[in-house]
Structures are given as C-alpha cells and as structure tokens.
Amino acid sequence: MAKLKTTYFCQNCGQQSAKWMGRCPTCGEWNTIVEELVQKDEPEKGGWRSPSSGPGSVKVAPKPKAIHAINYEEQPRVRTTDAELNRVLGGGIVPGSLVLIGGEPGIGKSTLLLQIALSLSGMRVLYVSGEESEQQIKMRAERLDTPTSDCHVMTETSTQNIFRVVEHFEPEILIVDSIQTMQSSLVESGAGSVSQVRECTAEFMKYAKESSVPVFMIGHITKEGSLAGPKVLEHMVDTVLTFEGDRHTTYRILRTTKNRFGSTDELGIYEMLGTGLRQVTNPSEILISQRDEALSGVTIGSMLEGNRPLMIETQALVSVATYGTPQRSSTGFDAKRLNMLLAVLEKRGGFRLGQQDVFLNIAGGLRVEDPAIDLAVCAAVVSSYEDIAIPSTVAFAAEVGLGGEVRAVSRIESRIAEAEKLGFKQIFISKFNMKGLDTRDFKISIKPVSRLDEVFQGVLL
C-alpha cells in the first residue's frame, strides 16, 4: 500500500522541508511555505516508462564515459511553417526538447500551439488539453486558416493515462495545455500544487529525452508576471518562451528567456486576427507610424533584437515645467540612461533642459536596451525642444558617450541595409563605423559624424 507523507514546499523555489517555516531558507521569501500531502508510490505504477525499462528488464548501473569517447550526431531540427517560431527557437524544433510557453490569460498561447499543430502536415501531433473540451478545440481549429494535418486531440489530466495513449499512438510532437492542470498519481496533492507541477514536468522531461519527441507545455503566470509554480520548473525545461502583448491590441511578441539550443535575444512578432495569428515578417513597418505631416520630437532609430535589425520610432515631448520639479518619464527606455543623455545635451550641447519636463516613448510597446538608439533619443529631444521637425526619411544608428561623442555600434551593415529597404534617404552613423564599410554597396546616403553638434547642424538647420 502507498505511503502518505506530509511535506512542506516553498511555492517560489520548490524547497522541501519537514516542518513549516515563515521564511524559506533557500530563496529568502516570506510566507511561501505550504503544506502538501505526498503519496510515495512504486515507480512502476505511474509515469513514463521507456521500452527498455519494462517489467522483466535488467537494470545496469551506468558507467561514466570519457568526453572524447561519446558519439555525437547532430539531429536535424524540425522546421515548421512558422518562421517566427523557428527564429525564436534557434532554427527549428529540436528533437527531444522540452519547451515551456508562458503568458497572460487570453494572450493566445493555446491558439499559437494549435496553429502550429495544424500546420505540421505529415507529422503525428498529439494535442492534450486539460482546460478545454474537444468541441472547444474543434471550434478554434475551424477558425484557423491552416491546412488539414494529422493532429489528434485528447482531453485528459492524468499523466498516467496520457503516457498509456502515447505508448500506443507514438506521436512525433506532444503538446500539453497546460502543465498546471496535469496530475500524477505519484503525488497525493491537487493539480497545480508545487509537488504536482514538479513531478509532472519531470515525467514529461523523461519522456522527451528517452523518446526524442519534442514536448511543448503551456504554463500559467502569476499576477506578478512570472511563471506559476516553483522556480525549479524553469530550470528543468530546455526552453522558456514568453508570449507578451496587450489583449486590447492586435500585436503579440514571442520572446525567449532561456534556450539551451540557441540564442535568447531573438523575438517573433505576430498579429492576432480572426483567423489566428499572422506572422509579421517586417516588424519595422508596424513600429513606424504613418504620418501625414512632419512632427517635432519624432525620430527613427535602428536597434537589434538578436540577429534581427528593427527600425523603431522614438517620440519625445519637451515642455516647460509648470509644477516646480521637472518630470522625467520614459516608456520602453531606461530612465537612468535618459537622465544621462539629458545631462550630456545640457553640458555638451548647451540646451537648457534643467527646467523642462521630458517625456520619452518607444512606439510599438518594445523595451529597448540597444545603445544604438541613443542618437535617435537625443535628436528627438532636441527636435521637440527647438520645435523643429526632423524629416521622416532620416534614420539614426549610433551610441552617445558622456563627452558628447558619437560612438560606433555593432553590425552597422545590417542596420543600414534595413533602413535602405524601408525607403530611408539618409542615416547618421559614427565615423568610427566607416572603417571597413563599403558605401558603394548601399544607395542610401550615409552621414558619418563624430559629435552631437554635427548631427544637429545636419538635420535641424
């Protein structure tokens, strides 16, 4: 008979202890220890069992191998029809990988994975849902503009029943929606608890590694925006994706916060339509607003997200401080860096911004960390301060130093090529980027500068 045991878990880090404590000794968080009833069962009675670990099999203790004696053959990735997902994953789906996708309720996580499952023609896909019925999934699938595929749907929350079906169905891709609704018979506590989430994730991870079948899991998030469950959940999986966006707008951003098989700097952009998620292949077009007339305080800067160059719109508003202390507000840009750039403009450029309210906004809802946007920010602030519009055909790609110098940035060729593709006529870059740059490859006018005053003389006079 199974043994029942009362154990205490930390909801933040998953730390297990024998008694209740007010503060977790591992992560230091207060009031995160909860009591759970754990059922210790025989390993053969539940969970995933590989074909070589059946009832009659002889277990051999593993032996360490020298690293040069390990045979390694790179397996080809599974390329989906979703180019945005392929880019975020690092080139496609890795066989045997465990991918966790998190996001706010209603943001489109289930729609994204169902759309991917329906688009994988020629592959057996098993979509396991613990939140919706088969009829609900069918209704969503009919709205999606995707071809007919070999996608099978099952509504189940018991991992033991899921693995019994998986053993006979032998899918090539497994999708679980969501991990918080799954429940293992090896743990007595309810679904969504720390022990259940950890145990179910461990079972799916074991299945993915032993069968080389990629597994996608949807994860809920807390009101703070982090993935629900213990922090160890993110350490167990291979890739953690976050689906971001405002439910009241149509655009969604797929980011990578952890990726064992690729870069964590890539992002994918989608547009939510009635027929599903549309891939935005040229995000620069949606990040730059269409204006009928020239406005002061608006500039276009070049930034990099991983290997992807983006042209984004920077908006600044400078006005006299009428309430005493000047305000400094920025959306999508580091506030401390904004204060530094304002100090540079006042000290090196002679602009009296000490008694001015300065508001800065990065259009499109992006969070910019690339220093190449500095020159566009400075130009937008000065444009609003002088109330002189900068032509919409001018772009900027350079970093600004504390001495007012314009510094070089990386991958300037791809930035210039992106600006030229979108129809810009001029781009201001650092003259230190001109070394090794062949201007004959570009039709756009390249303006190399070394100081801020050269930039302002070129666009404001």
Q: What is the mean pLDDT of the chain?
A: 85
Number of domains in the chain: 3
Query: Among candidates 370, 383, 175, 224, which has minimal Cα distance to 297?
Result: 383
pLDDT of residue 427: 94
Identify whether residues 179 and 96 lie together within a single domain. yes
Q: Residue 421: CB partners within 8 Å, gap ≥ 6?
A: none
pLDDT of residue 44: 45
The rounded percent of the chain whose pLDDT value lies above 70 is: 90
Determine the Cα–Cα distance for residues 179 and 110; give it in Å rounded to an integer.
Answer: 12
Region 392-396: mean pLDDT is 91
pLDDT tier, 439 (very low <50, low <70, confident <90, very high otherwise):
confident
Q: Residue 40: CB partners within 8 Å, gap ≥ 6?
A: 2, 3, 4, 5, 186
DSSP structure string for 267-327: EEEEEEETTEEEE-S-HHHHHS---SS--BTEEEEEEEETTEEEEEEEEEEEEE--SSSPP
Q: Which domain holds residue 11?
A: 1-41
Neighbours of 45 (CB within 10 A): 10
Cα 454 to Cα 206, 277, 391: the distances in Å are 60, 44, 16
> Is residue 356 assigned to a domain?
yes
Residue at which a domain ends, from 227, 256, 279:
279
> Is residue 315 assigned to a domain?
yes
Identify whether residues 145 and 4 lie together within a single domain. no
Strand bridging mode 298-305 / 394-397: parallel
Residue at which a domain ends, from 246, 279, 312:
279
> Is residue 73 assigned to a domain?
no
Identify whether residues 420 and 309 lie together within a single domain. yes
> Is residue 49 assigned to a domain?
no
pLDDT beyond 70 at 12:
yes
> Is residue 97 assigned to a domain?
yes
Determine the Cα–Cα distance for residues 237 and 256; give it in Å rounded to an integer.
Answer: 13
Determine the Cα–Cα distance for residues 216 and 145; give it in Å rounded to an integer.
Answer: 22
Determine the Cα–Cα distance for residues 441 and 184; give it in Å rounded to an integer.
Answer: 60
Q: Residue 387: CB partners within 8 Å, gap ≥ 6?
A: 296
pLDDT in tens, 242-300: 988 766 678 888 988 899 988 887 888 888 888 888 888 877 767 777 666 778 999 99
Neighbours of 243 (CB within 10 A): 22
Residues of the binding site: 103-110
pLDDT of residue 247: 64
Region 6-14: mean pLDDT is 78
Identify whether residues 374 and 455 lie together within a single domain. yes
Half-sphere exposure at residue 6, Cβ-oriented, CA atoms within 13 angstroms: 5
Determine the Cα–Cα distance for residues 182 and 178; give it in Å rounded to an integer.
Answer: 7
pLDDT in tens, 78-132: 898 889 899 899 889 999 999 999 988 888 899 999 999 998 888 899 999 998 9
Identify whether residues 366 and 260 lie together within a single domain. no
Identify whether residues 303 and 415 lie together within a single domain. yes
pLDDT in tens, 128-185: 999 899 999 998 888 887 766 788 999 999 999 999 999 999 999 999 998 989 998 8
Identify whether residues 92 and 34 lie together within a single domain. no
pLDDT tier, 39 (very low <50, low <70, confident <90, very high otherwise):
low
By the 8 A CB rule, do 171 and 126 touch? yes
Identify whether residues 271 and 304 lie together within a single domain. no
Identify whether residues 252 and 299 lie together within a single domain. no
Residues of the binding site for ATP: 103-110
Query: For position 290, which CATH number holds?
Result: 3.30.230.10
DSSP structure string for 358-376: EEEEETTS-----GGGHHH
Determine the Cα–Cα distance for residues 32 and 224; give it in Å rounded to an integer.
Answer: 15
Residue at which a domain ends, from 259, 279, 299:
279
Q: Residues of 64-85 as b/e, b for ≥16 C-beta within 10 angstroms?
A: eeeeeeeeeeeeebbebebebb
Identify whether residues 98 and 128 lie together within a single domain. yes
Identify whether residues 275 and 188 lie together within a single domain. yes
Q: Token pair of 114, please?
A: 């169902």
pLDDT beyond 90 at 229:
no
Query: For position 115, which CATH number holds?
Result: 3.40.50.300
**3-state DSSP percent of the chain in helix, strand and coil, to 5:** 30, 30, 45
Identify whether residues 223 and 299 lie together within a single domain. no
* 452-459 and 374-386 helices, crossing angle to 10°: 50
